[in-house]
């Protein structure tokens, strides 16, 4: 039995246990429901606003982008917040004291964050299919392409989440800054209106981050090809999308283990104790 | 057993031949310009219960964290279970347990669920004579959490939570258990139960135990050997009794005659008391002969250290303890 592989597998059961705890925890679940709930209400009010030149409502045009930002937001925030919170409360140190405990912790966290990201997406997608017509123009091919697209979105965002969580001083910074940055990115990433309506410099800025590209990829799967007319270059730019998200994934996957190891090395009883005092003073 | 008396041991590299579990030689730690540890030498032998005492800021936690491999030392040689904690791998971790001061981690987990999960990391390290992990039910019973298996950890009382911390430290059936102030915040009952647990561990499993405490009474009850750390140095090293005798050979005699209280310090308690009876007969009441305690040693040592007399104090103590331990 290879101890490291054994620890990684044990970590997966950890991810499942924590996911089950989340599903059976009322406050966690109500938090999970808030985002899809609000978005559904917004989409519902857009159901009758026709978009010029297309047979589709604004709601149907927005859904893929909304799913895209959910992938990006949740996949970044979930590990970032968990990591910062679990470093503060001593979970990480407890895992570090076990043989290959950090391996188990990370594999559990990855699985947990993937599952946590998928739940609100499903909670949004299923009702939209019932409420709106023509959500998926891509047909069976579209449904087949959706899982790999979501996976690529997760892959490009999760490592960034781990890096943010390792660098953050405490979970409260993540809440504030995380919300501001993702909110800002959401506003400029062409989710509720075409990105070509924005000034050129904002378009360039948005295209640096994965959020826009995940949304674009989602639109290319859900929407009919004519809808590409309002995108940059009047195209879905599938190759560019794969390229940018691929680069983000590679950078993230290369950096995240280094940053994580560095952070874990500095964990000790007195470090946890110091943070505990700091947090106690805040309360 | 000390570095000064066995200079050859450190030169020959890790000296695990004489069944030492922990071996620290000239351990030093410096944060910026502050020296927290200034040349700490000690050995913990297999099966021993070693208690480290010292005022706040003496370097206890730093020492413990260096031994656990959670902190890098500035200088010196350290061997824990045959490896240097700074470079030892994950497999080394499987051989010892750490009892952490928990706060609120794993609050949503249930007692049995968490212990079972944490135990699984030790499964690859089981050997025929050391089954790893300890079966969860047995472990729960041993630390006295029976009946709370299904409880959420956030719902445990402070004392139950600390017992869980001990269980986590024990789950891998460690050869060495390290505890940093394990009984901080315990009520007297919980403290007594904890002491019983440590005695059982030390007796039955032959687990070597290193713990720090502020509680001198606790050190007196648990320790085979006590280290007193002050100002980043070990200022005393010996069994609680030996240390108490060394600091003062004197005993304190208290008595009353005709309702009047008397106190007298003497090195010869027996002749003094005999003389007392010869003089006053049955009028002597409330007679009490008190030997110097570990507390007296501790206070004296720390005071000497704080008054800048550390060098002399160290020399005096280690000289005597070496002599005493020469035959062991």
Cβ-Cβ contacts under 8 Å, B123 against chain A: 1, 6
**What is the DSSP code (8-state) at residue A57?**
B
Angle at CA B147, nearest 5°, toward B144 and B153? 80
**Residue of chain B minimizing CA distance to A101:** B121
A104–B122 CB contact, under 8 Å: no
B123–A6 CB contact, under 8 Å: yes
A269–B61 CB contact, under 8 Å: yes
A269–B168 CB contact, under 8 Å: no
Residue A65 scores a pLDDT above 50: yes
Residue B123 scores a pLDDT above 80: yes
Looking at the DSSP bridge assignments, the partners of residue B180 are B212
pLDDT tens-digit series, residues B290-313: 877 778 778 877 777 777 655 555
Q: Which residue has tokens 């781990």?
A: A162
B65–A2 CB contact, under 8 Å: no
**Residue of chain A minimizing CA distance to B121:** A7
pLDDT tens-digit series, residues A4-36: 999 999 999 999 999 999 999 888 888 888 889
Task: Identify which of B227, B114, B19 has the alpha carbon closest to the alpha carbon of residue A91.
Answer: B114
Which pLDDT band, with edges at 50, 70 and 90, does B104 fall under? confident
**What pLDDT does residue A51 have?**
75
**Kind of pairing between the strands at B20-31 and B208-213:** unpaired
Q: What are phi and psi of B235, to 5 degrees?
A: -100, -10
A99–B101 CB contact, under 8 Å: no
Specify the pTM: 0.84
Half-sphere exposure for A153 (CA within 13 Å, toward CB): 31
Cβ-Cβ contacts under 8 Å, A274 against chain B: none
Residue B9 scores a pLDDT above 60: no
A98–B109 CB contact, under 8 Å: no
**What pLDDT does residue B317 have?**
53
Which pLDDT band, with edges at 50, 70 and 90, does B249 fall under? low
Residue B169 in contact with residue B119, Cβ under 8 Å? no
CA distance A94 to chain B (A): 7
Q: In what order do the strands lie in the sheet with B284-291?
A: B260-266, B251-257, B284-291
**What pLDDT does residue B248 have?**
62
Cis peptide preceding B133, ω within 30 of 0: yes
Chains A, B: CB contacts under 8 A, how many?
92
Name the B residues in 65-84 with CB < 8 Å from any A CB: 65, 68, 70-71
CA distances from A131 to A48, A60, A136, B304 (A): 12, 10, 13, 81
What is the SS3 assignment for A1? coil
CA distance A38 to chain B (A): 28
């Amino acid at each position: 039995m290879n101890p490291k592989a054994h620890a990684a597998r044990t970590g997966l059961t950890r991810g499942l246990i924590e996911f089950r705890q989340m599903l059976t925890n009322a406050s966690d679940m109500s938090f999970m429901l808030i985002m899809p709930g609000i978005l559904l209400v917004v989409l519902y009010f857009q159901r009758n606003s026709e978009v010029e030149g297309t047979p589709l409502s604004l709601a149907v045009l927005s859904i893929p982008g909304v799913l895209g930002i959910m992938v990006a937001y949740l996949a970044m925030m979930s590990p970032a917040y968990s990591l910062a919170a679990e470093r503060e409360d001593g979970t990480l140190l407890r895992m570090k004291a076990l043989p290959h405990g950090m391996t188990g912790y990370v594999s559990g966290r990855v699985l947990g964050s993937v599952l946590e990201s998928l739940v609100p997406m499903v909670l949004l997608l299923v009702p939209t299919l019932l409420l709106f017509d023509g959500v998926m123009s891509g047909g069976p091919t579209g449904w087949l392409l959706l899982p790999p697209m979501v996976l690529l979105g997760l892959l490009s965002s999760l490592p960034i989440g781990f890096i943010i969580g390792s660098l953050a001083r405490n979970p409260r910074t993540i809440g504030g800054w995380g919300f501001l940055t993702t909110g800002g990115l959401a506003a400029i990433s062409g989710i509720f209106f075409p990105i070509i309506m924005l000034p050129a410099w904002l378009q360039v800025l948005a295209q640096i981050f994965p959020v826009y590209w995940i949304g674009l990829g989602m639109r290319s799967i859900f929407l009919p090809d004519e809808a590409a007319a309002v995108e940059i270059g009047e195209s879905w730019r599938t190759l560019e999308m794969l390229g940018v998200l691929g680069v983000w994934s590679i950078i993230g996957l290369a950096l995240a283990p280094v940053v994580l190891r560095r952070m874990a090395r500095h964990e000790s009883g007195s470090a946890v104790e110091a943070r505990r005092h700091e947090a106690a003073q805040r309360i | 057993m000390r570095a000064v008396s066995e200079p050859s041991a450190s030169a020959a590299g890790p000296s695990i031949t004489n069944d030492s579990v922990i071996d620290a030689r000239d351990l030093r730690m410096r944060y910026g310009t502050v020296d927290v540890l200034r040349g700490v030498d000690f050995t913990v032998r297999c099966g021993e219960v070693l208690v480290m005492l010292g005022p706040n800021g003496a370097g206890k936690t730093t020492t413990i964290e260096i031994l656990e491999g959670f902190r890098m030392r500035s200088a010196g040689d350290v061997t824990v279970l045959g490896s240097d904690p700074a470079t030892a791998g994950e497999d080394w971790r499987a051989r010892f347990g750490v009892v952490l001061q928990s706060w609120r981690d794993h609050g949503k987990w249930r007692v049995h669920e968490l212990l079972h999960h944490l135990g699984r990391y030790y499964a690859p390290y089981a050997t025929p004579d050391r089954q790893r992990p300890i079966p969860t039910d047995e472990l729960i019973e041993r630390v006295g959490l029976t009946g709370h298996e299904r409880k959420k950890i956030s719902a445990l009382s402070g004392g139950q939570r600390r017992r869980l911390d001990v269980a986590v430290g024990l789950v891998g059936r460690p050869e060495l258990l390290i505890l940093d102030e394990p009984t901080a915040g315990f009520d007297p009952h919980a403290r007594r139960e904890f002491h019983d647990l440590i005695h059982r561990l030390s007796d039955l499993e032959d687990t070597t135990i290193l713990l720090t405490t502020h509680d001198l009474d606790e050190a007196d009850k648990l320790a085979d050997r006590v280290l007193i750390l002050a100002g980043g140095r070990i200022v005393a090293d010996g069994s609680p009794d030996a240390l108490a005798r060394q600091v003062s050979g004197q005993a304190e005699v208290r008595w009353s005659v005709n309702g009047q209280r008397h106190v007298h310090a003497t090195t010869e308690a027996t002749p003094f008391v005999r003389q007392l009876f010869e003089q006053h007969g049955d009028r002597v009441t409330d007679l009490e002969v008190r030997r110097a305690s570990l507390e007296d040693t501790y206070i004296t040592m720390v005071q000497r250290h704080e008054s800048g007399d550390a060098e002399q104090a160290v020399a005096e103590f280690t000289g005597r303890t070496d002599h005493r331990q020469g035959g062991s």
